[in-house]
Amino acid sequence: MLTNPSKLALGVLLGGGFFAGFVFFVVFHFGMAATNSMDLCISCHEMDGVYEEYKKTPHYSNPSGVRATCADCHVPHGKTFPDWIDKFLAKLTIGSKDIYHHTIGTYDTKEKFKAARYEMAQHVIENMRKRDSKECRFCHSLEAMNIAEQGKSASRKHKRIMEEGGKTCIDCHTGIAHEEPEEPEEKEDDDKKE
């Protein structure tokens, strides 16, 4: 049976819960927005080469003056529930895994990072494929392409995927913002032995 004092306690608990939830929401929401800033990414990724390479590509600087930032390509966005889940998971990774490895210094030299790049790239590509290159499509769309103005091989390929589907942007367009890392040699040898 609920007595008045316990009702009060329940009220305090619920009220407190809502308040904590609200504070959590505000911190989390703005925290999420802050984690999208390119400065933050660069604060860790400046030395490892990915930023230097990106600065040489049209995604950093082009005649139209439209820039794709790290988060535009790497952090899932969109308005559906699955988008939200993907975004949350990506933020958790950047918020915890990246910081963890950074703190314990797993890849604290350029060499160590370089050795791990191939694996990371595969992981990134796999994630983009799973999302059907959705982040690319926030800026690019097949419908908006002036296919006639594209080169021969681009127009042929794009016409084909428009008609037949089956392929997604990242299947053909890796290495657009960084030099695509090569597969490590030992690994190739292992494959040959098998």
CB 70 within 8 A of CB 178: no
In this chain, which of 5, 64, 80, 144 binds ligand HEC, going by CB under 6 A? 64
Pick the closer one to ligand HEC by CB: 6 or 43.
43
Tell me if 139 sits within 8 A of 15, measured CB to CB.
no
Q: Does 59 bind ligand HEC (CB under 6 A)?
A: yes
The rounded distance, in Å, linking the Cα atoms of 45 and 52 is 9
Which of 9-17, 19-27, 70-78, 79-87 is the region at the interface with ligand HEC (rule: CB under 6 A)? 70-78
CB 41 within 8 A of CB 71: yes
Q: Cβ distance 169 to 137 under 8 Å?
A: yes
Of 30, 34, 171, 182, which one interacts with ligand HEC (CB under 6 A)? Answer: 171
> Which is closer to ligand HEC, CB of 87 or CB of 158?
158
Site string for ligand HEC, 94-133 (x = CB under 6 A): x--xxx-xx----x---------x--xx-xxx--x----x
Assess 136 for contact with ligand HEC (CB under 6 A): yes
Contact yes or no for 118/183 (Cβ under 8 A): yes
- How many of the other CB atoms lie within 10 Å of CB of 67? 12
Q: Which two tokens stand for residue 184?
A: 């490590």
Q: How many CB atoms lie within 10 A of CB 13?
A: 11
Q: Which residues bind ligand HEC (CB under 6 A)?
A: 35-36, 40-45, 50-51, 54, 57-59, 62-64, 66, 68, 70-74, 94, 97-99, 101-102, 107, 117, 120-121, 123-125, 128, 133, 135-136, 138-140, 142, 150-151, 153-154, 157-158, 161, 167, 169-178, 180-181
